[in-house]
């Protein structure tokens, strides 16, 4: 595990030192606070992260300079460079010039994700993993160990990914799966709105990153070409009737070249839509930035009033016939959009407007998945 902390966030590091199972060490290098476990074998990985942070594309930096900045031997720098090359980083080396980063592989990297981020809430701490049962479950484990609000856990793969209403979420390598930990001072009844704020953030990020006409399928999916490309799952922990933590899980089909046969008519990926592979780090960073802006708006008003126009503009269901799959009262109508509370407004045959809460129903288009 590598844990990256943004230095502009006040933290009492002695509190973290009391976490069970781990003894933590802290150091600040190149403006980054690095958090590592004394019991782990991650010393080499942390050195690689530090070296990678200093390497720049198109500009050489000498081994001597790297050694001086990081306070380690030239041999340690050489080992870190070779290890980065083994990980797929293309690094040029020239005598009397030093090292230059030529190309990055498409692997998850906390420092790359954080580049250019100016966040106060989301991504103040980033953990990247190759595989995990579920990023939501990992976040909840961290939350019970007193992890701070703003933690993000990211994984290339999930072995037990889950979706809304307990459904299994296919989490194959090539996608990206990440969860945010939040500890908002809000009434529990307001939390469903955060899911919609997250969906809008993902949709905006995908549109900007790829140029695709991404839309939102109320309440928690992002779709492209009428097929699902992203799912969002929000879970909440309560204590004495108050919010202890909120976990927002996001799964995006990024570079998947194939979709399971039974899902081909319902799901797609960025790669399948464009024929291009994408740097998942850049996409995650963009999602985090978009979501933070929406989250700040939501906390400011405790509703979606500052986002409702953008949301309805991107709502795939708007002005479309829908079928409400309520087990007790299924019906059909035309979706008009959402209100400030995030409820879906549906006009039924007799002209009445019905409101649906995101936690109570599923919506399907009459003629397609959307």
- Positive/negative CA dihedral, 359, 360, 364, 366: negative
Which of 73, 103, 133 is the last residue before a domain boundary? 103
Does 335 lie in the same domain as 231?
no
Which CATH number characterizes residue 352's domain?
2.30.30.100
Q: Is 262 inside a domain boundary? A: yes
For the cut 70, the answer to whether the pLDDT of residue 29 exceeds it is no
Does 16 lie in the same domain as 124?
no
Does 129 lie in the same domain as 256?
yes
Environment class of residue 211 by beta-carbon count within 10 Å: exposed (0-12), middle (13-18) or buried (19+)? Answer: exposed
Does 270 lie in the same domain as 172?
yes
* Predicted local confidence at residue 213, as pLDDT: 96
Q: Is 57 inside a domain boundary? A: yes
* Predicted local confidence at residue 115, as pLDDT: 75
Per-residue pLDDT tens digits for 137-158: 999 999 999 999 999 999 988 8
Find the domain containing 14 and state its range: 2-103
Name the nearest CA neighbour of 155 among 290, 251, 85, 62: 251
Residue with tokens 């595989």: 131
Per-residue pLDDT tens digits for 69-97: 999 999 999 999 998 888 778 899 999 89
Does 206 lie in the same domain as 273?
yes
**Please, which pLDDT band fits residue 235 given cuts at 50, 70 and 90?**
very high
- Count of domains forming the chain: 3
**Please, which pLDDT band fits residue 40 given cuts at 50, 70 and 90?**
very low
Residue 175 φ then ψ, to 5°: -90, -175
Does 57 lie in the same domain as 99?
yes
Does 207 lie in the same domain as 166?
yes
Separation of CA 335 from chain center: 28
Higher-pLDDT residue of 67 and 28 is: 67
Per-residue pLDDT tens digits for 184-209: 999 999 999 999 999 999 999 999 99
Q: Is 343 inside a domain boundary? A: yes
Q: Is 370 inside a domain boundary? A: no
Per-residue pLDDT tens digits for 266-300: 999 999 999 999 999 999 999 999 999 999 999 99
The answer to whether the beta carbons of residues 215 and 223 sit under 8 Å apart is yes
* Predicted local confidence at residue 44, as pLDDT: 65
- Provide, rounded to the nearest whole percent, the portion of the chain with pLDDT above 90: 56
Higher-pLDDT residue of 207 and 59 is: 207
Per-chain mean pLDDT for the chain = 84
Does 144 lie in the same domain as 279?
yes
Where b means 16+ CB within 10 Å and e means fewer, 298-335 reads bbeeebbebbbeebbebbbbbebebbbeeeeeeeebbb
Distance separating alpha carbons of residues 20 and 129, to the nearest angstrom? 20
For the cut 70, the answer to whether the pLDDT of residue 38 exceeds it is no
* Predicted local confidence at residue 170, as pLDDT: 59
The answer to whether the beta carbons of residues 361 and 326 sit under 8 Å apart is yes
* pTM for the predicted model, two decimal places: 0.76
* Predicted local confidence at residue 158, as pLDDT: 86
């Amino acid at each position: 595990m590598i844990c990256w902390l943004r230095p502009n966030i006040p933290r009492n590091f002695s509190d973290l030192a009391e976490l069970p199972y781990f003894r933590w060490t802290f150091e600040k290098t190149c403006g980054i606070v690095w958090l590592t476990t004394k019991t782990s074998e991650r010393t080499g990985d942390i050195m690689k992260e530090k070296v990678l942070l200093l390497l720049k594309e198109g500009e050489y930096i000498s081994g001597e300079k790297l050694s001086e900045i990081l306070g380690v031997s030239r041999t340690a720098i050489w080992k870190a460079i070779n290890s980065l090359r083994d990980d797929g980083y293309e690094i040029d080396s020239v005598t009397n010039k030093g090292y230059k980063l030529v190309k990055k592989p498409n692997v998850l990297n906390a420092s790359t994700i954080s580049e250019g981020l100016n966040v106060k809430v989301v991504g103040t701490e980033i953990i990247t993993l190759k595989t995990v049962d579920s990023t939501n479950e990992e976040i909840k484990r961290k939350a019970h160990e007193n992890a701070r609000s703003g933690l993000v856990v990211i994984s290339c793969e999930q072995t037990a990914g889950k979706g809304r209403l307990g459904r299994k979420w296919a989490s194959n390598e090539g996608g990206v799966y990440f969860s945010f930990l939040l500890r908002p001072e809000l009434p529990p009844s307001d939390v469903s709105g955060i899911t919609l704020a997250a969906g809008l953030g993902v949709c905006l990020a995908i549109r900007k990153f790829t140029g695709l006409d991404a839309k939102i399928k109320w309440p928690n999916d992002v779709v492209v070409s009428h097929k699902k490309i992203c799912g969002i799952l929000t879970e909440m922990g309560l204590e004495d009737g108050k919010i202890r933590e909120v976990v927002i899980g996001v799964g995006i089909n990024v570079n998947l070249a194939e979709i399971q046969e039974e899902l081909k008519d319902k799901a797609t990926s960025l790669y399948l839509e464009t024929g291009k592979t994408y740097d998942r780090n850049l996409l995650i960073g963009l999602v985090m930035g978009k979501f933070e802006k929406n989250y700040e708006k939501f906390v400011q008003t405790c509703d979606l009033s500052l986002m409702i126009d953008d949301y309805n503009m991107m709502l795939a269901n708007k002005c479309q016939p829908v079928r409400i799959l309520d087990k007790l009262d299924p019906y059909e109508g035309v979706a008009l959009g959402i209100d400030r509370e995030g409820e879906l407004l549906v006009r039924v045959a007799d002209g009445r407007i019905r409101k649906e809460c995101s936690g109570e129903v599923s919506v399907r288009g009459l003629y397609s998945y959307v």
